[in-house]
Amino acid sequence: MSASQDLLSNYQNVIEALTLTTGSKGVYDVSVDGALIYSKAETGRHAEPGEVLERFTDLVDDIRRYGE
């Protein structure tokens, strides 16, 4: 599952908008409210399945997932 699918299926109850913007040279960063939660440039690799969702969940630990 992609990072965007992970986020929307688990947190559609709180995500007002999700924007995916491509960058040059394979840049892949994920930010939430200005906070960088994943950067391909920093790690040198694509995120593992579920990794972006896990980092987002850590950031918003007091928000319930959709359906809970």
- Looking at residue 17, its pLDDT comes to 79
> Does residue 67 lie in a domain region?
no
Domain coverage including residue 42: 3-59
> Does residue 65 lie in a domain region?
no
Q: How many CB atoms lie within 10 A of CB 2?
A: 11
> Does residue 35 lie in a domain region?
yes
Tell me, yes or no, if the pTM score tops 0.85: no
- Looking at residue 1, its pLDDT comes to 65
> Does residue 68 lie in a domain region?
no
Count how many domains the chain has: 1
User: What b/e string do you get for 20-59 counting C-beta neighbours within 10 Å, with b at 16 or more?
Assistant: eeeeeeeebebeeeeeebbebeeeeeebeeebbbebbbee
Checking if the pLDDT of 4 tops 90, the result is no
CA distance 56 to 65: 11
